[in-house]
Structure 1
Amino acid sequence: MNKRILAVYYTQSGQTKQILDSFLQPMIAQDVEIDYLQVRTQHVFPFPWSTPVFFDTVPESVEVIPTPLQPWTTKYDRYDLIVLAWQPWNLSPSIPINSILQDDRFKAIIKDTALVSICGCRNMWINAMEKNKKLFAVAGTKHVGNIALADRHLNHLSYITIFHWLGTGKKDRKWGIFPLPGVSDKDIAGAAVFGTTVNDSLAAGNWENLQPALRKQQAVNVKYSLMFIERKAGKIFQKWVNIINQHPQKRKNILVAYKYYLAVALLLASPIILLVDLILIRPFNQKKIKQQLDYYSSVDYNPNI
């Protein structure tokens, strides 16, 4: 009997589906049966997004609050592998993805089943992945592989280009001079290489060495500078959400302040903080840093890391 995969995805721009399709090509070539589940929410998140509407997702995404889903169904109740194609919002899983992962019927399908996660993002995904790992643990699924495809351009440039893409819906060069936003076409096409590796483990029914094999292929690339910023930013994001929770009537005004804070923190403060870290902290914490890089490149889950 052919192996069965449930390919679960949410997409607005279409990029996540492109990544998923490329990744699944080797399985399709081997006649693996694939059942697709596109996550749809009752509240439709628009694309393109206006800036205020985009930032209005901050509280619910940071606190991993689900939203009602549209009716969905799958062909089977059990699969040999779950492939979850997802994206981070605000250093957290997107609201549609956190919603399907907290759906009781979906949790029953993925319980005790191998799951490979694959995301497309600007560049920061580790905080969101940690929240996903917690949801995986609650559901009892077996997280056996993780792949993260990111925009390879400099942090400052990708911050500008991603908002151009979100705001216009056009994946082109802002003013004709900035780089293209999002995951490159080359990297999207290259996801098929990782699909071959996953398919080998699927055929063998052995997942033990999958993530080490994917790491050798650079399926995940944790950069220290981004990890350093993201670990601090995740805590700061939560503090802003706490303020909104304390003053819900001022939500819009607080989110405007947060938007400007985020731009200043990323574009001006973070380079200074990274320079101080490079000189005064990083040289004396190499062992701890290596442990953190290894952990975030793995599929292990440790809430105390």
Structure 2
Amino acid sequence: MKRVLIIYYSQSGDVTRAVESLTKCLKTPEIQLSWECIKPKADYPYPWSLYKFFDVFPECINGEHPEIFPPKFNHNYTFDLVIIAYQVWFLAPSLPIQGFLKSEYAKVLQNTKIITLVVSRNMWHSASETMKKMIAEVGGIHIDNVVVTHQGPPLATFITTPWSLLTGRKNRLLGALPPAGVKDEDIDALSIFGERIANHLTKTDCSHHSMLAGLGTVEVNQRYIIPELIGRVIYHPWAKIARFFGQQGSWSRLPIICLFAVHLLFAIPIVLIVSNLIQFLFAPLIHKKIASYVELLKSPISVG
């Protein structure tokens, strides 16, 4: 009997749908599945209010994780595989998942093979690298990463994703923009990866090599690399300043959070223009570094 632990946190339901599709083929007599939905002690409402949405930003960037309620999985079990499915908040793993990985309960990951499943808009790179480092810190063995992104072109998701977060609706907006979230077809396609995982688990081979090599689980769009890197640089000072003025939910930092939200509205188009100029003017100089970063993103191993 092989034991698989599934750790996840979902708000809109996309993460839940994705991980259920991924593990559909693992529901066999030879495999025992344990499901664990992380429950943070802090309140992260869905749909979000506009202020609460931006108010989690400093903690996401600074890695100030919330406390979580004790998980229900059997702590005496040794699992053959752990699957961690998560969202991206402000270019970082969602705070509840950070809370689990920084808690005492994360010792279940030690010396255990781990597959991550990230469900995000289009800028998932920084969150993925952060996850790799946190998994390494607790002694986990990250063997594969699966990435699922929201449907529609970037400009469309720039509208539909916030709309969904603030209203809870996923329907077509204005009759023209695509629905928010992940396509049903992309969710269903994850079962192909699940078949490969099930085949590996039923073998006696206990190696720590990839289970999903060659299946194209990670596709990197190079257009988003520079904008995201610039975004990370911009985010850090704002997060430090906001945190200096108070903790999450405190009125003392309300003006800073509001200023950040307004700043972000104007900064995003500027960042996109600047990143396009950088890629156009300095393409020969940065080509190798971008290519190297793409390979890093595709690898389950963190460097540095």
TM-score (norm 2): 0.92
Question: Deviation at 1:29?
Answer: 4.1
1:18-29 superposed matches below 5 A: 18-29=17-28
Cα distance in 2 between the residues matched to 1:27 and 1:229: 38
Which has the larger displacement, 3-12 or 285-294?
A: 285-294
The match for 1:293 is 294
Cα distance in 2 between the residues matched to 1:202 and 1:250: 52
1:203-218 superposed matches below 5 A: 203-204=202-203, 205-210=206-211, 213=213, 216-218=214-216
Do the aligned residues in 2 keep the contact of 1:123 with 1:152 (CA within 8 Å)? no
The match for 1:99 is 99
Cα distance in 1 between the residues matched to 2:210 and 2:7: 23
Cα distance in 2 between the residues matched to 1:29 and 1:202: 11
Question: Deviation at 1:23?
Answer: 0.2
The match for 2:279 is 278
Q: CA RMSD in A?
A: 1.6
Do the aligned residues in 1 keep the contact of 2:151 with 2:178 (CA within 8 Å)? no
Cα distance in 1 between the residues matched to 2:189 and 2:237: 38
Question: Deviation at 1:283?
Answer: 2.7
Do the aligned residues in 2 keep the contact of 1:244 with 1:250 (CA within 8 Å)? no
Question: Deviation at 1:278?
Answer: 2.8
Do the aligned residues in 2 keep the contact of 1:67 with 1:96 (CA within 8 Å)? yes
Q: Deviations over 1:196-225 (max 9, x none)?
A: 2222333333342435x1xx3221111111
Question: Deviation at 1:250?
Answer: 4.6
SS of the equivalent of 1:175 reads: coil
The match for 1:242 is 240
Question: Deviation at 1:144?
Answer: 0.6
Cα distance in 2 between the residues matched to 1:28 and 1:118: 18
The match for 1:7 is 6
More helix by share: 1
Q: Deviations over 1:72-109 (max 9, x none)?
A: 221343100000011111111111000011111x2221
Cα distance in 2 between the residues matched to 1:125 and 1:175: 27
Do the aligned residues in 2 keep the contact of 1:151 with 1:184 (CA within 8 Å)? yes
1:197/1:242 CA distance change after superposition, 3 Å: same
SS of the equivalent of 2:282 reads: helix
1:271/1:102 CA distance change after superposition, 3 Å: closer
Unaligned 5+ runs, structure 1: none
Cα distance in 1 between the residues matched to 2:51 and 2:167: 14
Cα distance in 1 between the residues matched to 2:200 and 2:226: 33
1:230 and 2:249 aligned: no
Cα distance in 2 between the residues matched to 1:6 and 1:47: 26
The match for 1:150 is 149
Give the residue type in structure 2 aligned to 1:112. N
SS of the equivalent of 2:129 reads: helix
Do the aligned residues in 2 keep the contact of 1:55 with 1:259 (CA within 8 Å)? yes
1:220 and 2:222 aligned: no
Cα distance in 1 between the residues matched to 2:179 and 2:21: 20
Do the aligned residues in 1 keep the contact of 2:59 with 2:65 (CA within 8 Å)? yes
| Number of residue-to-residue matches in the alignment | 297
Cα distance in 1 between the residues matched to 2:72 and 2:157: 37
Do the aligned residues in 1 keep the contact of 2:9 with 2:85 (CA within 8 Å)? yes
Cα distance in 1 between the residues matched to 2:202 and 2:71: 28
Question: Deviation at 1:26?
Answer: 1.3
SS of the equivalent of 1:115 reads: strand
Cα distance in 1 between the residues matched to 2:215 and 2:261: 36
Do the aligned residues in 2 keep the contact of 1:64 with 1:93 (CA within 8 Å)? no
Give the residue type in structure 1 aligned to 2:242. I
The match for 2:266 is 264
SS of the equivalent of 1:210 reads: coil
Do the aligned residues in 2 keep the contact of 1:88 with 1:121 (CA within 8 Å)? yes
Which has the larger displacement, 147-156 or 198-207?
A: 198-207
Q: Deviations over 1:133-176 (max 9, x none)?
A: 12111100000110010014222210110111011111111222
Do the aligned residues in 2 keep the contact of 1:78 with 1:110 (CA within 8 Å)? no
Unaligned 5+ runs, structure 2: none
Q: Deviations over 1:182-203 (max 9, x none)?
A: 1111101111111122223333
Question: Deviation at 1:30?
Answer: 6.1
Percent identity of equivalent pairs: 26
Cα distance in 2 between the residues matched to 1:260 and 1:83: 37
The match for 2:257 is 255
Question: Deviation at 1:50?
Answer: 1.1
